[in-house]
Structure 1
Amino acid sequence: MAYMIQWVRSLIFNFTMYLALFVIGVLFFPWAMFSRHGALRACKTYAHWVRWSARWMIGLKTEIRGTPPTGEVMIGAKHQSFLDIIVIFSVVPAGKFIMKRELLWAPILGQYARWIGCVPVNRGKRGAAILQMVADVASGAQEPGQLIIYSQGTRVAPGVKKPYKIGTYALYKDLNQPCVPVATNIGVFWPRHGVYRKPGVAVVDFLEPIPTGMQSKAFMRQLEDVVETRSDALMREAGFDPDGTIRQ
């Protein structure tokens, strides 16, 4: 019975979350069309609304640990669900994401992603995708902010191990900015697929920055080690044991 009640609460929450996306997107549209600041304010409003409504509608609190960066840095984050996008964006001043190009065609979401400076990339051959990513980021370098990349390239469910993509290093080297690793356990509460949202405390943890100037293997090893180790610890804290892992 408790599971069914939470499932219904989750269904209602999911509906209101997408309704709020439409309402906030339309209300801010005239300002956002002509001002990146207006687009950022719209997206911030939505992100804070989702965090607030999740707390009282489904009992899912979100907690920030570490120090969110305020300067121009690259953020190399663990990606488990839509909620980690929301939480990270809500606490950095001017976040912009490396994103799948297909998302540009999503109603409202795609238009606002353009306005806040997200960088769309095509999936395909790895080398071509990396070159395009670096070129697209360089072309938008005049827009200050925090560039957020999901180093595994997609959402990865708790307990699944997936390699980190070398495109993260290409950006790190080209931008010549520190990289802030980010760990999370959000997928324990908000799975990649399905309606159900589990109550609890979902954590996003900003870790110590990796300085500029590292070589490829050393950088990728350090990024993966700190993010995966901390994410596993956070998942155990949430009651999920990631030791029985599945490799993809």
Structure 2
Amino acid sequence: MIVVQYLRSIFFIVQMYVMLAVFAVGGLPYALIGGRRAAIHVCRGYCKWVCWSAGWAVGLKTEIRGPIPKGDVLIAAKHQSFLDILMIYAAIPRGKFIMKKELVWTPFVGWYAYLIGCIPVDRGKRGAAIKAMLAQAKNARFAGGQLVIFAQGTRVAAGAKKPYKIGAGALYTDLGLTCVPAATNVGVFWPRHGILRKPGVAIVEFLPEIEPGLQIGDYMKKIEAEIETASDLLMAEAGFKVA
């Protein structure tokens, strides 16, 4: 059975990247003419395709829990694999991401990241990167919608622990936005590295809102406690043994 699942996983991955090219190239004229709204439609269409095709190709269903953020909010999310990016973006109406600067030059991904208003960050510059991120977040071109930041700054394997980055706190205090924490268990089924995609139910859960006004230290402790606790529960629900 494991050999069959590997073969199904390879098929799924290949078609996923083929369809990335199809959506990106086919939707580019529409996105260029229609602007950000049109580019968002193309990106959400692709994200929904991958979530749907994962179900029949490898037996991996996807589920969104909690109220979906729809206004101008900050989403501080757990990041375990490429799938949680797709699930979050498919769910929210006007999403954009804080992303690493190198992705700007990635074919297809970089084009649409620019069009939908993603904010590139040079993670190697630390303090300067945070200042640049905050400045861009206030730029009119990036205004409006749901700004997603991965609170640990990178993908973290299911069950692994990694500190939360201050960038999430800087955005919360500087922008004065309501924050929606987001937990996930996707890494149980779709790991950071490797080919195998496991059957099951991958979940992203939007947690209760955190209103503006907390001190940055209190905010950082709160999102870490809430996101890690909820993610551990989701992983345990999926049969993963959480240390």
Same fold by TM-score greater than 0.5 = yes
Give the corresponding residue for 1:246.
none
1:234 counterpart letter in structure 2: L
Deviation, 1:125, is: 3.2
Q: How does 1:66-81 map to 2 (within 5 A)?
A: 66-81=66-81
Report runs of 4+ in structure 1 exceeding 2 Å deviation: 140-143
2:15 counterpart letter in structure 1: T
2:198 and 2:38 map into 1 onto residues whose CA distance is 33
Q: Judge conservation of contact 1:97–1:149 (CA < 8 Å) in 2.
A: yes
Whether 1:22 and 2:24 are equivalent positions in the alignment is: no
Give the corresponding residue for 2:8.
9
**SS of corresponding position for 1:161:** coil
Whether 1:138 and 2:134 are equivalent positions in the alignment is: no
1:238 and 1:212 map into 2 onto residues whose CA distance is 33
Q: Judge conservation of contact 2:104–2:111 (CA < 8 Å) in 1.
A: yes
Deviation, 1:170, is: 0.7
1:115 and 1:61 map into 2 onto residues whose CA distance is 29
1:137 and 1:79 map into 2 onto residues whose CA distance is 21
Q: How does 1:110-121 map to 2 (within 5 A)?
A: 110-121=110-121
Instruction: Extract unaligned runs of 5+ from structure 1.
Output: 244-248
1:4 and 1:31 map into 2 onto residues whose CA distance is 41
Whether 1:202 and 2:198 are equivalent positions in the alignment is: no
Q: Judge conservation of contact 2:9–2:58 (CA < 8 Å) in 1.
A: yes
Deviation, 1:241, is: 1.2
Give the corresponding residue for 1:242.
242
What number of residue pairs does the alignment pair up? 242
Length-normalised TM-score, structure 1: 0.96
2:210 and 2:157 map into 1 onto residues whose CA distance is 25
Deviation, 1:37, is: 1.3
1:97 and 1:52 map into 2 onto residues whose CA distance is 22
Deviation, 1:140, is: 3.9
1:205 and 1:82 map into 2 onto residues whose CA distance is 16
Q: Judge conservation of contact 1:117–1:140 (CA < 8 Å) in 2.
A: no
From the superposition, tell whether residues 142 and 95 of structure 1 become closer, same or farther in structure 2 (CA, over 3 Å): closer
1:142 and 1:193 map into 2 onto residues whose CA distance is 31
**SS of corresponding position for 1:124:** helix
1:119 and 1:69 map into 2 onto residues whose CA distance is 19
Deviation, 1:143, is: 2.9
1:17 counterpart letter in structure 2: M
From the superposition, tell whether residues 140 and 100 of structure 1 become closer, same or farther in structure 2 (CA, over 3 Å): farther
Deviates most, 77-86 or 118-127: 118-127
1:86 counterpart letter in structure 2: L
Q: Judge conservation of contact 2:117–2:142 (CA < 8 Å) in 1.
A: no
From the superposition, tell whether residues 141 and 212 of structure 1 become closer, same or farther in structure 2 (CA, over 3 Å): farther
Deviation, 1:213, is: 0.4
**SS of corresponding position for 2:64:** strand
From the superposition, tell whether residues 151 and 10 of structure 1 become closer, same or farther in structure 2 (CA, over 3 Å): same
Q: Judge conservation of contact 2:68–2:92 (CA < 8 Å) in 1.
A: yes
Whether 1:94 and 2:101 are equivalent positions in the alignment is: no
Q: Judge conservation of contact 2:117–2:141 (CA < 8 Å) in 1.
A: no
1:19 counterpart letter in structure 2: V
Whether 1:40 and 2:40 are equivalent positions in the alignment is: yes
Length-normalised TM-score, structure 2: 0.98
**SS of corresponding position for 2:172:** helix
From the superposition, tell whether residues 141 and 219 of structure 1 become closer, same or farther in structure 2 (CA, over 3 Å): farther
2:114 and 2:142 map into 1 onto residues whose CA distance is 15
Instruction: Extract unaligned runs of 5+ from structure 2.
Output: none
RMSD over aligned Cα atoms: 0.9
- The percent of aligned pairs where both chains have the same amino acid is 55
